[in-house]
Every structure is written in C-alpha cells, then in structure tokens.
Amino acid sequence: MAALSAPKIIEFEGEQEEISPKVAASDTYYKGGILCYVSGYAAAPGDNANSEVAGIVTGHFEGGERDDALAVGTTPIRARLKRGKAWIAVSGAAITDVGVIHYVADDQTMTKTAGSKTVGYRALDFKPGYLMFDFRHPDRIA
C-alpha cells in the first residue's frame, strides 16, 4: 500500500488511550493514519530504528490546521491520537501471520520486512484482509 491520501476508517477493539502529542505543522496527516515518534514529534513513519507508534490520527491535519486539534488560544499545537488495539488492512493477511512481528512501513501499511526498523508489533488476531495490532505494546528486536 502507499501512504494515505484521504481519510480512512479504522476499527478499534476494546479500550483506547487518547494522547495529544505535538506534530509538525507543515505536514498532512489523515484520519486513520498511523503516526510514529520522530525527534519528539508524532510524524509520518519512516525506515528509522527505534521508531515507536505514537497512535492513530482521529481527525484531519493539514499545514497547520487540524479539525480535531487541542488549542492554546487560537493556535492549534497538538493533534489527538488513539493508542490501543486496532484492525489494520494488510495485503495478503493470513491466519499464519498471527504471532508474527510486523513493522510500520507508512501511515497505513504494516509489513513483515524490518528494513532498519528495530521496533515492531506482533499481530494478535486475523480476519480476512486485516490483522489486529496493539500499538501500546511494541516488540523491540535490538
């Protein structure tokens, strides 16, 4: 899959934590996108070591404007993300992927290929086309 270019619906499972990290003001993040911690900010994932998922975007954010942002005065400074169990569309998902560590490739793609990543997430469940991941519990391989 390629990076998101429009909002998408994510199915969450069970209790979710809501966090509000700072995000870079010049980027676009879509509802349903997975963000990782990069230099202290929640940002689009890359092929970085120690890149842990911050959460899943609950609203749209583009170039300094967010439709669900927390604000100080009139300046939005943080976005809202959910952390917890979520069903993520995975190309070729199979029951045999349950228990296997996957890595965040972009804001909507999980892959079994680590690249230079050292933080992955174990698939917890399967349904056709989807795997469940708990983004509160990463697996560190280094």
Per-residue pLDDT reduced to its tens digit, 86-132: 999 999 999 999 999 999 998 999 999 988 889 999 999 999 999 99
Structure tokens at 57: 């975007």
Q: Which pLDDT belongs to residue 67?
A: 52
Q: Which residue would you say has higher pLDDT here, 43 or 68?
A: 43
Over residues 8-43, the pLDDT tens digits come to: 899 999 999 999 888 866 677 888 999 999 888 888
- Residue 26 falls inside a structural domain: yes
- Residue 1 falls inside a structural domain: no
Q: Which pLDDT belongs to residue 72?
A: 46
- In degrees and rounded to multiples of 5, residue 56 shows phi and psi of -110, 130
- Residue 6 falls inside a structural domain: no
Quickly tell me which residue has 């749209």 as its tokens: 60
> CB-hemisphere CA count at 13 Å for 1?
19
- Residue 50 falls inside a structural domain: yes
Domain that holds residue 29: 11-140
Instruction: Kindly report the pTM of this predicted structure.
Output: 0.86
Question: Are 124 and 110 in contact, with CB atoms under 8 Å apart?
Answer: no
Question: Are 45 and 104 in contact, with CB atoms under 8 Å apart?
Answer: yes
Q: Can you count the helices (H) and strands (E) in the chain?
A: 0, 16
For the chain, the domain total comes to: 1
- Residue 102 falls inside a structural domain: yes
Over residues 127-141, the pLDDT tens digits come to: 999 999 999 999 987
